[in-house]
Amino acid sequence: MTDNPFFTPSELPYGLPPFAQVREEHYLPALERGMADQLREVREITENPAPPTFANTIEALERSGRILHRTVTVFFSISASDATDGIREIETQVSPRLSQHADSIRLNRPLYARIKQVTTDDAEEAWLLEKYRVDFVRAGADLSEADQERLRELNEELTRLSTTFSQNLLTASTDSALVVEDAALLDGLSESTIKAIEKDGSYVLTLFNHTNQPALAELTNRETRRRLYELSTGRAPENFELAARMATLRAERAALLGYPSHAAYSVADQTAKTTEAVEEMLGKLVGPAVANARREAEALSEQAGFPIEPWDWSFYAERVRKARYDFDGADLRPYFELDRVLRDGVFHAAGELYGVTFSERDDLAGYHPDVRVFEVFDADGSPLGLFLFDPYARPTKRGGAWMNNLVDQSHLFDERPVVMNNLNITKPAEGPTLLTFDEVNTAFHEFGHALHGLFSDVRFPRVSGTAVPRDFVEYPSQVNEMWATWPSILANFARHHETGESVPAELLEKMKAAERFNQGFATVEYLAAALLDWSWHKLARGKTVEDAEAFENAALERAGITLGLVRPRYRTNYFAHIFFSGVGGYSAGYYSYIWSEVLDAESVDWFEENGGLGRGNGDHFRSTLLSVGGSRDVMDAFRDFRGRDPRIEPLLKRRGLQV
């Protein structure tokens, strides 16, 4: 297939993949050639008669596998964002083969022997060299032949199970959707939402990939709420068995590699370092969070006039907000039109902080008609990279919101970054796209990841942009959320979509006051998921779980976070973060969000102490932290930015968890 677009570098600006030329039949040949080429390149490294040097070993590895990298990057971006039946079939075929390919490199003894002999006096090279050494050891390079063979088998089976888990979940988001025939049962939803979900005379609410569906806050019919909630928590039941099997296999793999559990293996190369550090931090939060949630539950039952059930929580939380604070979140939606939020909010904040500007490139195509492409320019007018924005939900897109790199910045290849943000906003049947405040916040959050990728200024792709420990990667994106409510930014984008009038100041004040309510629920929901993840991955070698649902319940009870009204944000059967490695490998790592929020709360304090929004502050954050990616110790980068080690007190204050 000589016309395969993956065989040669893209000629589009910034190396943007030529999506218009890519067809499904291109993927398998490109993946096969890419793997073969990289194995040949690795063989040339190991057979090089010259003594091992950084250039002929580590840099040569960085240069290897370019066809494979281009293909994998595009393929898995598409499989997450627009997965047709054909894409899913290819994913099932290639995922185990890619796992085998990775093992064939990381378990290559001659290659590992060369890496161990490399020395360098250059600080950035030395950091990357150590990264490679750690990668190979953690992948099993020091194991015996027999143990390496078992490791290959484990990795291959885990990849197959992970792919099946993900595909089950994608199917369930549609198959487990709430279908009603009578629009009256959807009372409380906006007229535009009801129009958007109408299909052939019925109304279909597809599931978002977390327990509490947004519609639960609006639906007035209690039976409809119950049905939606139970569909959400009961979806993809076949994934319980898959999850239990994966947890057992991960425990065996960790033991092979010398760790008492997968959790211990997982955190060893994170900023947390030890399981004890994670457990100490989570333990500080459980008691105050549960106490707050119990108080909130009492207020909700009082408002309802009866003991509430889990599917009632979101609905009556909105009523309590309205009663206590005279605030209804729906009142804000007319002021949050998608394009204005993006241009006059997200982009405007980045311009004020960093001096960057954005120009939409209608001449460049994304992988779907909904995708918009923007060229990004630095403060001096020089080109910085491309940003792709894919805002809408669709049956072929997985749930949630995320950022991907399509091109990694590196000086080695003289490549500038191409990054993408995916959201899951319901596309209206007609008229403007109006957002909830949570969706506004998510847009700012994901663009924080995008900035981390766009501002990368490193030599090597292995440490580019967001290639940092996962318990650090959420930190810059969480910091970027602060600008969603910064007065001058909010005033710039929060305008009525029909009249252009600014959002009333008193409505914003009510929103800020109301935000303090329900923090107990939000924290318990999150902690329950983090501790569930932790329990699955503290299993010892040889431990099997026959009843995954019973295991889940027992794990939460042991952790002291059983509150019948608040289920984990993700139950085991739809916990894609930890059971689908393609999400980013968050197994035993869901704690990362709150771990990163400790750094985030400290950083928000720093911005406020130093005058808030302004180029000086933005340039300091960019130069000390965002631009360095993973090219140095990230906690050293944080100390350069903040001037000291992080403290937990700002986070406790933010979440109302001070005892």
Identify the three-state secondary structure at position 34.
helix
Q: Is-contact 587 578, C-beta < 8 A?
A: yes
CA 226, 230, 234: angle at the middle one, nearest 5?
A: 180
Maximal CA-CA distance, the chain: 81
Q: Facing residues of 282 across strands?
A: none
Q: How far apart are CA 451 and CA 419, in angstroms?
A: 9
Q: Which of 252, 337, 446, 481 is catalytic?
A: 446
Q: How many CB atoms lie within 10 A of CB 198?
A: 14
Evaluated on CA atoms 439, 649, 517, 206, the torsion sign reads positive
Burial group, residue 196, by CB count within 10 angstroms (0-12, 13-18, 19+): buried
Task: List all residues 6 or more positions away from 361 whose beta carbon is below 8 Å from its beta carbon.
Answer: 13, 373, 374, 375, 386
Residue 171 tokens read as: 């199917």
Rg (CA), the chain: 25
Q: Is-contact 466 403, C-beta < 8 A?
A: yes
Alpha helices in 336-436 (DSSP H): 338-340, 348-354
Tell me which DSSP letter residue 449 carries. Answer: H
Task: List all residues 6 or more positions away from 569 whose beta carbon is below 8 Å from its beta carbon.
Answer: 210, 211, 212, 525, 526, 528, 529
Cα 641 off chain centre by: 24
Q: How far apart are CA 158 and CA 244, in angstroms?
A: 11
Q: How far apart are CA 32 and CA 23, in angstroms?
A: 16
Tell me which DSSP letter residue 613 carries. Answer: S
446 tagged catalytic:
yes
Place of tokens 């309590």: 320
Catalytic (active-site) positions: 446
